[in-house]
Amino acid sequence: MLTPQGLKGKQYRITGNSYPRLGRPPKKSRKVIAALAGLLALALIGLGGVQLYDIFTGKDKNASAQACATPSGKALAAPAPGPTTPAAGDPHAIPQPSAVTVNVYNATAKGGLAGRTAEELKKRGFVIGKVGNAPAELDKKVPGTAQVIAGPGGAGAATLIGSQIAGAVTTPDARTDTTVDFVIGDGYSALLDETQAAAALALAVKPSPTPTATGSC
């Protein structure tokens, strides 16, 4: 063992039964870790509080979500609308064909269209009224496929008749009954088949999405 300079060979010894112990000085990184741990604990406490709040106040949201989904989680599809028994006082309700009286007029130069079309509409359940040539104010003056004319009380019936042909134009008038005029135009060739007519009716009466405060499905 080397003797430090100046001790001249003297030796020292430690007496007593206790020894000095030096603690590790605190490190800056430990303080940073402790601070982060504290922030994390506060964040977890806050998150737990929010979840508890949602559990006790989110009943309406859960009910809406259940109403919009099947047990498999898929959205429920709205049934395709079709003719129904009109609600009392609702002229826009779609009636059954048997509740609709339709007058069929031919505004073209082609003979026999009104009769053939009336027969086809009768097969579909409609009640046929007058059949013949269009009145003078419409004769040769309907360039499209057809013009459907109805009064305020026949709005739903006009929608049903208009769905039977592509491109039909609906025009209101002041009649007080629920009859509908089906005026054949120059662009007419045939009625839609019944499957196409049902699809056209469903599209015509499809309601627009209504936004709500809690969202929509």
Amino acid at 154: G
Residues 193 and 128 in one domain: yes
∠ CA 114-122-130, rounded to 5°: 45
The residues pairing with 22 across neighbouring beta strands, listed in sequence order, are none
Residues 41 and 126 in one domain: no
What gap in Å lies between CA 149 and CA 146, rounded to an integer? 10
- Cα four-point dihedral sign 70, 75, 81, 86: positive
Residues 55 and 148 in one domain: no
> What pLDDT does 121 receive?
98
Residues 128 and 55 in one domain: no
Question: What is the span of the domain harbouring residue 107?
Answer: 97-204
Q: Which two tokens stand for residue 68?
A: 């919009």
Residues 145 and 188 in one domain: yes
Q: Give residue for tokens 């009910």.
A: 63
Quote the number of domains for the chain: 2
What gap in Å lies between CA 136 and CA 108, rounded to an integer? 12
> What pLDDT does 53 receive?
55
- Taking the alpha carbons at both ends of the chain, their separation in whole angstroms is 87
Residues 147 and 62 in one domain: no
Q: Digits of tens for pLDDT over the chain (217 positions)?
A: 455 565 555 555 555 565 555 555 556 667 767 777 777 777 666 666 556 555 555 544 454 444 444 444 443 334 444 555 445 568 889 999 999 999 999 999 999 999 999 999 999 999 999 999 999 999 999 999 999 999 999 999 999 999 999 999 999 999 999 999 999 999 999 999 999 999 999 999 986 665 555 555 5
